[in-house]
Structure 1
């Protein structure tokens, strides 16, 4: 569980709501109450087989209830990955929560949004036939909306850089050349007022990058990284649309999947993602190291919570190799709209000591970081 829970609360969560009187404790509150509501939503159905009357309403598992998606999101937020897998398996196999993966009409009634997209990615391996086609349409709609929101600012940041050798007639405050303006107008110095009379302002010109940069995105597809996986796919699509960049994207759990052939299509990329499973980061970093052609013109971005399942020394050695080769390395604990990370801070500190910059960024901030690194 993601927050500590008192022992008595734990027993109450195990035994269920009918244990309140026997345990002689007050109602659960805060984090424990959220855990109880999430568990009761599913395991409360167990009472139906014992002759007790089941509740109806928001706590039911009726096919038409959009709260199914809300509940799945809550479970993934509250419980660790291995527990989430058990709960979802029980929901599908024991309690018949199959509507999202078998009934396209149920899926079509749900509002397309990022929460639903996360759920579809989690259940991706169960989707077949017409449900899969509906899921693809939903994923495309959400991705296009997200891309339309992010792309203008990202492109503005990445399409050009300040050229401090040429000047532009276009007056933009962020391009203002202070020293050039002073030099240009020194001949208009007013000795009586002891001031420079500014007759002509100077501005730096933006020019397009001509030298190619390789961007390698190495993305952890464990269940806790759902939002970062989505934003990584969209970001890869945006970067791939800029001629000065060559984008490669790799996703991993205990296996490594190279999706570079779909870097320009976030939907196809996400349709090949399967959230969940273990994590072998070192193996993925080693594979990405083989993709490096020009270390001095390569940016390696590891998107992960840094919770390594393999011996940590292996990961540290692989990152150190990239840094020693002069590859620019960045470890992102989160890449989403909020950049609120949950990650292994001790491992992050060890990676930083190997030469990897560590951050949690929104896509817009990642774009500005890239400008700083490659300028």
Structure 2
């Protein structure tokens, strides 16, 4: 019976208002009541948005005070696991536009700084008042710092400490692990009984330091669907700008082109400057970036986009062909959705590839390794 009751209680929490008639006899304990009340405060907005009237409060006798946005936030943080709370928090702002979280600077200071929250806040900057802008900037700064901390070592090691295939290292580092040489050298130690390869001597590649000058042009689509890519592009630009002998141009575009190269070392300012939305004119952006090329054979042009061209396809393909003929290294980084699945125009990507651009859908971690390979 207890198992049946627990199952019914979980369904009541999942279904919310829809369960009132079928499960109204299910008794919830104090903890479950707090969960239900916290969930109702947010997700009843879904029903209200569909024109469904709540009627009497489901929790009118729980206590004397009504949940406010601030109290709801504190309650949700205590009741839910961290990963669940972060998701609920983002939905509160992004989907249900819980204004109470956006109008109070003190509340904003207590939000968990996650990339999802940063994107939600960036998309709603126009609704911020002067008192909350500094708090929003601080959240963006903390999120950017987290991303930089995760990505910078990989960029530095990949680009300025790349593997040397012909030199061996005594430094045991997973990034330097030479699995081909290790397997080849240890095949003689294969244990037939265990059906396992016993590694008696692992091998590691040495890394070489190279400081040859490169120009990296990051041409980033800032249309509404590209917010994640803009965020990570700004961070990647700042990391590249901090490396010796790498000159970075950062260009944002929709139907207009904005050169924010002077802000490349400050990803927070880039994100707060970006005007997300509008159409997409990739050809215009490529044409602008052509003017930035001074040493073609030492230039990497990276187009970060979903390749949904709203401008002239002929002009776009012509610009890519011209850059390719000059021996500019051409990379096309396709947009990824929230589940890191590629979302882009594959036909256009194929046309770009036919004109000399290497196109891939990669996470930022793998983008560093890809760029390092191009620099060889």
TM-score by length of 2: 0.68
* Structure 1 residue 312, shift from structure 2 partner: 1.8
| CA distance 1:55–1:264, change in 2 (3 Å) | farther
Other-structure match for 2:365? 364
Inter-CA distance 367–271: structure 2 relative to 1 (3 Å threshold): same
1:322 corresponding residue in structure 2: 323
CA positional deviation for 1:319: 1.4
Moved more, 103-112 or 275-284: 103-112
**Cα distance in 2, alignment partners of residues 238 and 363 from structure 1:** 12
Tell me, what secondary structure is at the counterpart of 1:291?
A: coil
Cα distance between partner residues in 2 of 1:230 and 1:54: 43
Once the two structures are superposed, the pairs formed by residues 119-268 of structure 1 within 5 Å of their partners are: 119-162=120-163, 170=170, 174=177, 206-268=207-269
Matched with 2:55 is: 53
Asked if the contact 1:214–1:247 (Cα under 8 Å) also holds between the matched residues in 2, the reply is yes
Q: CA deviation at 1:162?
A: 4.7
User: Secondary structure of the equivalent of 1:361?
Assistant: coil
Deviates more, 1:261-270 or 1:104-113: 104-113
The 5 Å alignment of 1:327-346 reads: 327-334=328-335, 339-346=340-347
CA distance in 2, matches of 1:252, 1:259: 10
Q: How many residue pairs were aligned?
A: 293
Give the distance between the partners of 1:339 and 1:203, measured in 2 at CA. Answer: 30
Q: In structure 1, which of residues 63, 66, 83 is the aligned counterpart of residue 69 of structure 2?
A: 63
1:275-294 Cα offsets, whole Å, 9 max, x none, are 22211111111111111111
Name the structure 2 match of 1:40: 46
Aligned partners of 1:156 and 1:53: how far apart in 2?
60
Paired residue secondary structure (2:291): helix
Alpha-carbon spacing, 1:71–1:168, altered in 2? closer, same or farther (3 Å): same
Checking the alignment, whether the CA contact within 8 Å between 1:122 and 1:274 is kept in structure 2 is: no
Residues 164 and 348 of structure 1: CA distance in aligned 2, closer, same or farther (over 3 Å): closer
Q: Which runs of 5+ in 1 are unaligned?
A: 1-16, 19-36, 76-90, 92-96, 179-200
**TM-score between both structures, scaled by the size of structure 1:** 0.68
